[in-house]
Structure 1
Amino acid sequence: MMSALYTTKVHAVGGRAGSVRSEDGLLDLPLALPPSLGGKGDATNPEQLFAAGYAACFGNAVIHITRNREKKIGDDGVEVTATVGMEPNAGGAFALTVALDVTIAGVDQEAAEAIVEEAHKVCPYSNATRGNIDVALSVKTR
């Protein structure tokens, strides 16, 4: 078994209307139910945190897979917007929906689509969701 490249701990208290705090204190946020779920919406929520993590991680996957290519994608050459939703599933529980809108600078559409396809294979969030959540990918260039 390989050793972890990175590990973190985040402690949650009070569920969706509580708070989260990372072991190093860098993440320390109140949580609130969004208005569409009957809450005040005056703080972040787990879906926003998941969307932020997935967007940032996927952007880094794009940068990573082009690192040794002639056309490298730099930090400012990729933008990812993650849309995360929650919906009821057939079993009476809940499921997440995810869409990633990826914009890549400096390459043509065909290259951008190939890069995103490869990034989707290496991104840890993509690997964690594969088989559980259908992730809709859209790609454009700038």
Structure 2
Amino acid sequence: MNVLYSTQATALGGRDGWAASVDGVLKVKLAKPRALDGAGGGATPEHLFAAAYAASFLEALRAAAPETGSVITDDANVTVTVSIRRPESEDGLTLDVSLALDLPDVDRETAQVLARRAHDLCPYSRALRARLEPRVSIA
């Protein structure tokens, strides 16, 4: 497999610290959310994951659009919700992920076809496939 792109980031201090990319493009203060007994006031790993997944999935929708003759307009958007939950029968925490698609000028049936195809193309969807099935809603 050919690597097309690679980057690195380092976290210091865990959920109450900093994360930064090695190239200096990204530097973000992290803070444990109040819901997890933290002080809040900063980004969480879930913020970063939601933003990255949303951007990647929108790009996958754009890549899939020509297959259906659709056009993904500039005002199209994907909102990803990442939730942390405690499973009843397991230790630790787990993620729930849902995607909300707003694709102006694309009918609902075509949007569903595009969403299925984007899940095949999006590297985040592919990575999650074995453990988690993100829910999708279409505006």
Q: TM-score, normalised by structure 1?
A: 0.91
2 CA distance for matches of 1:128 and 1:31?
A: 24
Cα offsets for 1:95-129 (capped at 9, x unmatched)? 10001001112121111111111111111000001
The residue that corresponds to 1:88 in the other structure is 86
1:46 has 2:42 as partner: no
Q: Return the structure number with greater strand share.
A: 1
Match of 1:118 in 2: 117
Aligned length: 138
Question: Mind listing any 5+ residue stretches in structure 2 that lack a counterpart?
Answer: none
What is the aligned partner in structure 2 of residue 73 from structure 1?
72
Question: Which one-letter code corresponds to 1:93 in the other structure?
Answer: G
1:128 aligns with 2:119: no
What is the deviation of 1:68? 5.6
Name the % identity: 38
Deviations 1:48-91 (A, max 9, x none): 111111111101100011146532224x1421110001111222
Normalization by structure 2: what TM-score? Answer: 0.93
After the TM superposition, which parts of structure 1 deviate over 2 Å for at least 4 consecutive aligned residues?
67-72
